[in-house]
Structure 1
Amino acid sequence: MFRNLGAYLEDLERRGELVRVPEEVSAELEITALADRAFKTGGPALLFENVRDRDFPLVIGLFGTPERTARALGVRALDDLAARVERLLELKPAGGLAGALAMLPKLGELKGLFPKKVRRAPVQEVVLTGDRVDLGRLPVQTCWPGDGGPFVTLPQVITRDPETGEYNVGMYRMQVFGPRSTAMHWQLYKTGRRHFEKARKLGTRLEVAVALGGDPVLTYAATAPLPELPGLYEYHLAGFLRGRPVELVKAKTVDLWVPAEAEFVLEGYVDPAEPFVTEGPFGDHTGFYTPPSPYPLFHVTALSHRRGAVYPSTVVGPPPMEDAWLIEASERIFLPAAQLVIPEIRDYHMPPAGVAHNWVNVEIEKSYAGQGFKVASGLLGLGQMMSTKVVVVTSDAPPKPGFGALLAAVRHLRPERDVVFSKGPTDELDHAPAQVGFSGKLILDGTVKLEAEGPAAAPPVPPGPAGHPEVTAQHAWPGVLAVTIEKRRPGQVRALARRLAADPAVRLLLVADGGIDPANPDALMWWVLANLDPARDAWVEAGRTLVLDGTRKLPEEGARPWPEVARLDEKTLERARPLIERWLS
């Protein structure tokens, strides 16, 4: 593993996976243009050495490919993470002395689990307090033209439960408002928000520290959906993955321990007695702008950093972005734990087009009727899986690649029998539901059916042409028809679906807006699922066709204000084109 970010960058450079950009660039939009191209083409990490009007260089793309993410987490491939966790879960001593001795070699898996406290730290080589703090010195990006301002995008936000003292490290975006203040994007279901609410009830401020950089595994750990276990938090996971303890040093102005090898640490507090500030808009991981919303204000009392510090950043937006590989890392790490709870799971996958919470495929070992629904329901009750909108279950096909698994499920799908609708919580950033954080759920049982479940579905064939004047483009796969339309009126998709369901070959009908390529499965599924609330936008038509209405919804259809896609303007792209051609061609 890597002692700090500098060691990781040296390794990337030796391997030809880091490009140094010496030309002056702007943190406002220009870096996004290069990063977006690198993410979508599997390009290198980018170190911008000269960010206009800022005092520090910026690096982006630390997790820009699955291979790079695996290396950052100390394994050859992301699939190896599951094997490491499986070995940890096998730490169950057999009886007697022989059993205890047999377990000793496995205890090496726990090496590094517990953080180590130190008295001096590189991150405190420079310490600025009070009026000397100026966040404007940092190259904090304004990522998209519609963003409300610059956002810190790779923070490790450290808080402690005011009642129990338990630590938490989470990744919550932070909009910079001035030299010593930011918003703190604590959503309702996040642990940081729970710490904040406890502080409110106790009538006290909540101390906060924000680390940037360090061993890249620390950054990953802040994103991990770690279950809450007494005495364990995200830096324990980081220590387990890196095989040595995370070194922590006491912060200078708050009673918190922070990573000694970080590049920067911001220290301060949030005051629950203060009114919330309006944060956003922000071009989010959904690919759309999330609207302005009220969140707590973070007051910065100290800024410490190492000499020669490098500011780590990322950009989220229309997939695929590098957060897809962080999501896959969590998927691999927590697979063994999911299998402990639901042992018939062979594997599962969250396709990048589903942006983590919109779509999960799961392959099961099936032995009884209804098992597909049982497993899917169980998954929806596991931690952050509760936000998932669509679960696709197979028993004879792997869950990856995502669209391939969906086509495999359609082979065995009779929608009138094999689809279940329900409701539950969803990600607050999901714009499709009429109510924030509350959405429909959809389960597709695409497993091989047993006798008790009724007759097997006939082998699917590609549907014929839609042949409807409102269809602007179309593409078909066996059992699946994807069409695009120009949405003009409420009820338009319902009327179209009645016509297209007349073709008995259409088991799954996907409807998207014009401008989406229906022959591109990833773009198609991203758009359809992002704009889908299964409670309103999914139904079985004519007793045999599952319809997913992925069009933009109108106010007359019960929708909230519909957001725009986060994309760069032509002027920015033109300005960045020479750099893209020079460094990413």
Structure 2
Amino acid sequence: MAYKNLKHFIDTLDKAGELVRIKTFVDPILEISEITDRISKSPDGGKALLFENTGTDFPVLMNSMGSLKRMCLALGVNELDDIARQIEDLFKMLSKPKESILDKLAMLPKLGQFASWMPKVVSGKGACQEVVMANPDLSKIPVIQCWPKDGGPFITLPVIHTKDPHTGIRNVGMYRMQVFDGQMTGMHWHKHKVSAKHYNEYKALKKRMPVAVVLGGDPVYTYSATAPLPENVDEYMLAGFLRKQKVELVKCISQPEIEVPADADFVIEGYVDPEEDLIWEGPFGDHTGYYSLADWYPRFHVTAITHRKDAVYPATIVGIPPQEDAYLGKATERIFLAPIKMAMVPEMIDMEMPVEGVFHNLVISKIKKDYPGQAQKVMNAMWGAGQMMFNKILVVADQHTTISDYKSLAQYMFKHLNPATDIYFSQGPMDVLDHSCSKMGFGGKMCIDATTKYDEEILDSHVRDIKPAAINKAELQKRFPEIKGINDSLLAMDIPCLFVAVQKARPLHVKELNEQLYALPEMLGIKMIIYVEHTVDVSDLATTLWRFCNNLDPRRDSFVVRNPVAGQPGKEWAGVGMDGTLKTRLLDGFERDWPNIVVADDETIRKVDEKWASLNIGPFLPSPSLKYKPQMYGEEAVVPQ
């Protein structure tokens, strides 16, 4: 369905029992974020929050798409797979051979419907321009500061419009914006993004780059700005398809080269001057759960701010998962499954992006396997496709398992896994937010072939099925005092994997410890050991996997061990250790700065605790940050180098 504006969506959430209105004053600096963090980590994502008293003229909407139900409401479907089915039907219709004139005529209604979704520029002003600020001033808008170490307040749900200066083709993306003063922000577009390409083209032309930033309107605008569309595919075409109604656009007032949705809540118009010095932007508590480090980015100068009379400021927070962005990621996972199947990986059956993998870090794919080496074929196709190039760990399973049942998947994977031959390492472009890479934006990748193997894929000398013996954890920790925790609970589930918390004290410590452990007879049959920092509670598997996926560079930090099997001449078994600890100059030769975990400060936690009863949002919820503070180094989370 098409929402008339953001208020229409808010009313829909309210009627569905998915919204809580907060009338008590809540400070946009840190307090809104802390309250939202507590609610978003509630079962099923809690409720959407409308903060009506922000110290400005505008309310703030948070967590509006922070559950599967609200994500479906935003996109106007009963379930996200409905959209995938619609896209698949459309692909099949367009690709089906047209054998007769009747077949071709039968397509006309569909083509007419398709045309009705295309964006259209209309004359005059839109509702987004009902109010024009006489003196544009970002301080009049309740821009939030999410976390205490953030460089300042950030606009976190900006739908940013740019155009190719040569072709005039529009790009709509989402990149955070740090507010420096009333008329200037940073523009955090990464070098892989289309807007950054536009910026470089304007720089070559020595021309100012017009930019417009939209906030609010139909929530599909926000989703479409995050969608991994091919370059030069208009995001508003996707929005029109999702809402089954074209997006009407109007020209900006001060930057008329750019058009924006007429029904948006706010439009911030301005320009980027490529000849101007960059600005030091960040840090920012990011979706990885760590602060992304400060760096140099372009300056965005505000030339006009317009808004609806009843404008609502939408925002989001990101940080330690789960947060609202997990559900945006789930929508992308389901919606783009059909194009991946139809255009790139025809053997694809399903795809899963676990929350702990924070989008790119961990992707699980399920294929129909018909021949040896097919998992590697899929690996290469996936890593060569759009934003999937940023994927760090790819697991390829086949039609004989269920990838959404992680226990069954793990049992199946380890049953068919030879760590020496079925784990593939590569390197390539990585998300610039990945702090584990030795070089920013470039690092290691890993594919785990979890499929049933054909004879051609099996190494005759390898003994695959050895049931591990029980582990004496106390004895291991006595023998290796650097081990501060062991989780062997998966062994009882026929999953031969250990989680080990280790306190490193010397270079190559984890590699040497891995070799020493695998030399022990009781480790026979253990196929994988995952190492994390000594401060991590390895009994908490979700947190352990989140820390591990963030801190691992698979190519650099994986250590395969091959050992002979006693009593079986010529036979061997293999295990792999993976170092998911933080890296330092002193112990690892790691030259980049290592970021801190994103947590609230004690003062903000105290303020929200005291204010909670007056918020009328349900039973008291303690700060999620309290769980993670013990995992940090010292009061300020400063990592020793």
Partner in structure 2 of residue 336 of structure 1: 338
* Aligned with residue 125 of structure 2, among 120, 129, 132: 120
State the distance in 2 between where 1:172 and 1:324 align. 17
Uncovered stretches (5+) of structure 1, i.e. residues with no partner:
none
Q: Which one-letter code corresponds to 1:549 in the other structure?
A: D
State the distance in 2 between where 1:213 and 1:182 align. 19
State the distance in 1 between where 2:113 and 2:534 align. 52
Q: Which one-letter code corresponds to 1:180 in the other structure?
A: Q
Deviation of 1:500 after TM superposition, in Å, equals 2.4
* Aligned with residue 398 of structure 1, among 394, 399, 402: 402
Partner in structure 2 of residue 23 of structure 1: 24
Q: Does the Cα contact within 8 Å between 2:468 and 2:524 map onto a contact in 1? A: no
Q: Does the Cα contact within 8 Å between 2:172 and 2:225 map onto a contact in 1? A: yes
1:414 aligns with 2:426: no
Partner in structure 2 of residue 137 of structure 1: 140
* Aligned with residue 464 of structure 1, among 448, 465, 471: 471
> Secondary structure of 1:301's match?
strand
Taking the TM superposition and a 5 Å limit, the aligned residue runs for 1:267-282 are: 267-282=269-284
* Aligned with residue 554 of structure 1, among 577, 581, 584: 584
Q: Calculate percent identity across the aligned residue pairs.
A: 43
Partner in structure 1 of residue 568 of structure 2: none
Q: Which one-letter code corresponds to 1:373 in the other structure?
A: Q
Deviation of 1:397 after TM superposition, in Å, equals 1.9
TM-score, scaled relative to structure 2: 0.88
Bigger Rg, structure 1 or 2: 2
> Secondary structure of 2:41's match?
helix
State the distance in 2 between where 1:422 and 1:465 align. 35
State the distance in 2 between where 1:20 and 1:57 align. 10
TM-score, scaled relative to structure 1: 0.96
Deviation of 1:370 after TM superposition, in Å, equals 1.1
Distance 1:348 1:461, change over 3 A: farther
Residues 62-107 of structure 1 show CA distances to partners (whole Å, capped at 9, x for unaligned) of 1110121112111111222211211221233522122124434544
* Aligned with residue 536 of structure 1, among 556, 559, 574: 556
Q: Does the Cα contact within 8 Å between 1:34 and 1:579 map onto a contact in 2? A: no
Q: Does the Cα contact within 8 Å between 1:88 and 1:110 map onto a contact in 2? A: no
Partner in structure 1 of residue 245 of structure 2: 244
Uncovered stretches (5+) of structure 2, i.e. residues with no partner:
564-573, 620-641
Deviation of 1:326 after TM superposition, in Å, equals 0.7
1:180 aligns with 2:180: no
Deviation of 1:485 after TM superposition, in Å, equals 1.9
1:485 aligns with 2:479: no
Residues 500-525 of structure 1 show CA distances to partners (whole Å, capped at 9, x for unaligned) of 22302211111111332323332111
> Secondary structure of 1:172's match?
coil
Residues 226-250 of structure 1 show CA distances to partners (whole Å, capped at 9, x for unaligned) of 0124xx3111110111000111111
> Secondary structure of 1:448's match?
coil
State the distance in 2 between where 1:82 and 1:512 align. 37
Deviation of 1:403 after TM superposition, in Å, equals 6.4
* Aligned with residue 194 of structure 2, among 191, 215, 219: 191
Q: Does the Cα contact within 8 Å between 2:466 and 2:525 map onto a contact in 1? A: no
Q: Does the Cα contact within 8 Å between 2:465 and 2:525 map onto a contact in 1? A: no
State the distance in 2 between where 1:405 and 1:535 align. 23
> Secondary structure of 1:267's match?
strand
Partner in structure 1 of residue 457 of structure 2: 453
Q: Which one-letter code corresponds to 2:21 in the other structure?
A: R
Q: Which one-letter code corresponds to 2:131 in the other structure?
A: V
Q: Does the Cα contact within 8 Å between 2:482 and 2:504 map onto a contact in 1? A: no
Q: Does the Cα contact within 8 Å between 1:168 and 1:233 map onto a contact in 2? A: yes
Distance 1:573 1:462, change over 3 A: farther
State the distance in 2 between where 1:470 and 1:361 align. 33
* Aligned with residue 76 of structure 1, among 78, 90, 107: 78
State the distance in 1 between where 2:175 and 2:147 align. 18
Deviation of 1:109 after TM superposition, in Å, equals 5.7
Deviation of 1:209 after TM superposition, in Å, equals 0.1
State the distance in 2 between where 1:21 and 1:459 align. 58
Distance 1:494 1:584, change over 3 A: farther
Residues 443-467 of structure 1 show CA distances to partners (whole Å, capped at 9, x for unaligned) of 1111111111116831755762441
Partner in structure 2 of residue 284 of structure 1: 286
* Aligned with residue 495 of structure 1, among 498, 508, 512: 512
Residues 167-191 of structure 1 show CA distances to partners (whole Å, capped at 9, x for unaligned) of 0000000000000000000100000
Distance 1:460 1:86, change over 3 A: farther
State the distance in 2 between where 1:462 and 1:218 align. 54
> Secondary structure of 1:69's match?
helix
Deviation of 1:392 after TM superposition, in Å, equals 0.8
State the distance in 1 between where 2:374 and 2:235 align. 34
Taking the TM superposition and a 5 Å limit, the aligned residue runs for 1:88-487 are: 88-92=90-94, 94-104=98-108, 106-107=110-111, 110=114, 112-118=116-122, 119-128=124-133, 132-229=135-232, 232-254=233-255, 255-340=257-342, 341-395=344-398, 396-401=400-405, 405-454=409-458, 457-458=464-465, 461=468, 464-466=471-473, 467-468=476-477, 469-476=481-488, 477=490, 478-487=495-504
Residues 21-74 of structure 1 show CA distances to partners (whole Å, capped at 9, x for unaligned) of 00001111111111111211121000000113x221101011110121112111
Q: Which one-letter code corresponds to 1:85 in the other structure?
A: I
State the distance in 1 between where 2:181 and 2:420 align. 56
Q: Which one-letter code corresponds to 1:124 in the other structure?
A: Q
> Secondary structure of 1:13's match?
helix
Deviates more, 1:479-488 or 1:409-418: 479-488
> Secondary structure of 1:50's match?
coil
Deviation of 1:402 after TM superposition, in Å, equals 5.1
* Aligned with residue 563 of structure 1, among 556, 572, 595: 595
Deviation of 1:434 after TM superposition, in Å, equals 0.9
Q: Which one-letter code corresponds to 2:296 in the other structure?
A: P
Q: Does the Cα contact within 8 Å between 2:511 and 2:559 map onto a contact in 1? A: no
State the distance in 1 between where 2:17 and 2:437 align. 44
Deviates more, 1:544-553 or 1:275-284: 544-553
State the distance in 2 between where 1:579 and 1:82 align. 43
Residues 330-378 of structure 1 show CA distances to partners (whole Å, capped at 9, x for unaligned) of 1111111111211111111111111111111111111111111111121
Distance 1:110 1:330, change over 3 A: same
| Count of residue pairs brought into register by the alignment | 580
Q: Does the Cα contact within 8 Å between 2:469 and 2:524 map onto a contact in 1? A: no
Deviation of 1:5 after TM superposition, in Å, equals 0.6
Q: Does the Cα contact within 8 Å between 1:553 and 1:562 map onto a contact in 2? A: yes
> Secondary structure of 2:246's match?
coil
Partner in structure 1 of residue 567 of structure 2: none
Distance 1:575 1:422, change over 3 A: same
Q: Which one-letter code corresponds to 2:484 in the other structure?
A: T
Q: Which one-letter code corresponds to 1:558 in the other structure?
A: G
